[in-house]
Amino acid sequence: MIALALLTTGNVQAGLFEEGDILMVQAAPDAIHFNSSPEHADYSWLVGVEWQSPSRWLVGASYFNNSFDQKCQYYYFGKSWSLDFISDNEYFKNLYFKLTGGVLLGYKEPYEDKIPFNDNGVAPGIVPGLGYKFNDFNVQVNLLGGAGLIFTFGYDLIKW
């Protein structure tokens, strides 16, 4: 939280952020699994923060309770693309595809084999998503490999 406060001060903003940049916060109340298991936690929530440039490149971090009740993080970078080419309809200009890649931390014994290439709780991650933006709010559905989906809800906290 201290880092977020520092990022919003004028002196730090001047060197890091440019006009058109967005700092978005997001949350997810639960995940939907393709195959449920008695081992799954009751709730797989997520909270995160993401910076996006006007060219739609992005960097983010999320903290979440995984499907096995372990506290984890996902640090990522990526890009989003507008899907307005689908139709001239005004509603399609708010639809987008997002692809992120990064590192997952926290999947440990006895569930370390639940994500590929995991080595001591550290694994690569790739998350594709489909989203819709309305003013400062967005909703996304993100594919979690072959395990399931997570719906996130976001809000543009700061716009430069």
Domains of the chain: residue spans and CATH = 22-159 (2.40.160)
Q: For 25-80, what is each residue's pLDDT tens digit?
A: 999 999 999 998 889 988 899 999 999 999 999 999 999 999 999 999 999 999 99
pLDDT for position 8: 52
Q: For 77-130, what is each residue's pLDDT tens digit?
A: 999 999 988 877 777 789 999 999 999 999 999 999 999 999 999 999 999 999
Strands (E), the chain: 22-28, 31-33, 46-52, 57-65, 71-82, 95-105, 122-134, 137-144, 148-159
Residue 11's pLDDT band, with cuts at 50, 70 and 90, is very low
Query: CA 4, CA 6: separation in Å to the nearest integer?
Result: 5
Global confidence as pTM: 0.86
Question: Per-residue pLDDT for 16 more than 50?
Answer: yes
**Mean pLDDT over the full length of the chain:** 90
- Distance (Å) of CA 160 to CA 7, 45, 54: 12, 29, 10
